[in-house]
Structure 1
Amino acid sequence: MSGTNPLLAAFEHFCQQELRGVVRHLRMSGFDQHCAEDAAQEAMVELLEVWEAQQVTKPRAWVRRVASRKAMALLARERLLRQAHGLAAEQVELLVPPDAGDEGVFNTTLQYLRQLPPGQQRIMAWYFDDYEPREIAEHTGLQISTVRSHIRHARQHLKLMWEADHEGGDDR
């Protein structure tokens, strides 16, 4: 079909050249692989709808903007579905003892935090300074869903580290 229509051939070529880059862009923006792939494909479909009319003057930037919006919408829908089905992730208590002013506790906490991925470290630094996810998102420029995801994953990692260090009743 694209062999007879030069515009469709150009679109196919564009997709082949750019789809991976759009997915990579979304991954670098903090979206997981599945969400990035779905959003990139949806953006390409939307681009096809306007391609023949040649309404888009900068398709590389356009498809990335649209894909980012679609990825955010996918996350919002997923979150609503989890809430609707009562599957929202359980909150794990903070693993830092109440007396965080103690230098030993601070150093232990810092050791644990250094084992987290850089994005989670950065978010947890804000979180330990008593910022809410909404405030962290505003200050870091991240989506609130990404901030919440970082907090959830960091808590899970910290809990595993804490449990591994305190197996068999070892209370350091």
Structure 2
Amino acid sequence: MSETGPDGEAASAASLGHLPASASDSGSETGSRDGEFAYFYRTCIRRLVAFLMWQGAPAALAADLAQDTMVKAYERWDRIQSPEAWSRRVASRELVRAFSQVEESIDELALEPTSLLPVPDEAAEWEGQQEVLHLLRDLPARQRQVLAWTLDGYKPTEIAAELGLKAAAVRASLFKARLAVSSRMTDREGD
């Protein structure tokens, strides 16, 4: 299985930023593995939370799913070839499961502090503008998903490969998402 990252090259934990010498606490294989994973976790956890929020997850749910995904990544670390893409794929699937199991509206879930988001009200500021999250929330799930991958730097062909879709379908969803967001922004400016 050959996976690629947003730059089109095979990724590993070391390629996420060329691990600093301190990332590995010993020369042993276990120390190197743990150091690589720790570096991956530190550099990617917040972006993974943001990625899930772009798909419509409330901040607390996004933080929980990102943390659960990181646990799974650690358990499978030696078998993952492209950790960033793998974590997004797994977290996206878990988000779909969470949405399908929720009996109440996702918007009605209370935002509670977590270790990843100690002050949930600041999540929107940390992520950018709350306006963008609101615009994305109104899109159909597939359009939100494709747009989230795009906002994270992936190209349509890479997104198609990760989601098991045709590149043309990804481009069509991306086009529709951009058109809908643009239309909604124009409508809001007119109000």
TM-score (norm: length of structure 2):
0.41
Higher gyration radius (CA): 1
TM-score (norm: length of structure 1):
0.45
